[in-house]
């Protein structure tokens, strides 16, 4: 059976992303080279540059894949409380990746992707307001997750959600 070129491209992109994540487990992000990524992924440099311009683009691709999963999983979730609970649960489920990004000081990538896919697209504010509100909420929730992660998820999720909902009176559910 012949594979479609789209499948081959996706497989190459995923191999490159997985290679970068694996290398990040024992090496600083800044010190990882394209050559090392290509060797671990089993692809050549031409394949790398056909798919990505930079290592940061690989991270964005990987997070985009995660957030597509998040969006599919989020479908049907309504209300602020449920939204916050789902976000924190999803990040906890992905704690290995999120912990690695925290350790390497790369969580800013998750804030941007989450703002784009998790918050802004579900807001009912006008587009200018949605951007700023989405940015604020995304950064805040990511920082809440980081604190929860650092305490090894000791605090019950419900307590954190209640605190976050109280923190922002304008999103409190009646």
pLDDT in the model for residue 174: 42
Q: Lowest-confidence range among 14-18, 59-63, 78-82, 97-101?
A: 78-82
pLDDT in the model for residue 46: 94
What are the domain boundaries of the chain? Answer: 5-53, 57-171
What pLDDT band is residue 32 in, cutting at 50, 70 and 90? very high
Q: In this prediction, what percent of the chain has a pLDDT beyond 90? A: 55
Residue 42 to residues 45, 111, 145, 148, 170: CA-CA distances in angstroms? Answer: 10, 30, 34, 36, 50
Q: Averaged over 111-129, what is the pLDDT?
A: 65
pLDDT in the model for residue 172: 44
Give Dmax (Cα) for the chain. 58
Contact between residue 72 and residue 64 where contact means Cβ atoms under 8 Å apart: no
Q: Lowest-confidence range among 1-5, 47-51, 122-126?
A: 1-5
Radius of gyration (C-alpha) of the chain in whole angstroms:
18
Q: Averaged over 31-47, what is the pLDDT?
A: 96
* pLDDT at residue 173 greater than cutoff 70: no
Question: Residue 67 and residue 74: Cα distance in Å, rounded?
Answer: 10
Q: In this prediction, what percent of the chain has a pLDDT beyond 70? A: 86
* pLDDT at residue 125 greater than cutoff 80: no
* pLDDT at residue 3 greater than cutoff 60: no
Taking the domain 5-53, which CATH number applies?
Answer: 1.10.10
């Amino acid at each position: 059976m012949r594979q479609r070129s789209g499948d081959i491209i996706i497989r190459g992109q995923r191999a490159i992303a997985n290679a970068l994540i694996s290398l990040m487990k024992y090496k600083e992000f800044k010190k990882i080279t394209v050559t090392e990524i290509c060797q671990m992924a089993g692809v050549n440099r031409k394949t790398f540059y056909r798919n990505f311009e930079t290592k940061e683009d690989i991270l964005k691709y990987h997070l985009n894949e995660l957030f597509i999963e998040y969006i599919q999983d989020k479908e049907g979730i309504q209300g602020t409380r449920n939204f916050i609970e789902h976000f924190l649960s999803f990040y906890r489920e992905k704690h290995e990746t999120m912990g690695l990004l925290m350790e390497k000081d790369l969580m800013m990538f998750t804030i941007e992707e989450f703002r784009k896919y998790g918050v802004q697209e579900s807001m009912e504010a006008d587009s200018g307001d949605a951007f700023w509100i989405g940015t604020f909420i995304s950064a805040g929730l990511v920082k809440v997750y980081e604190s929860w992660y650092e305490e090894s998820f000791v605090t019950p999720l419900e307590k954190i959600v209640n605190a976050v909902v109280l923190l922002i009176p304008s999103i409190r559910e009646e």
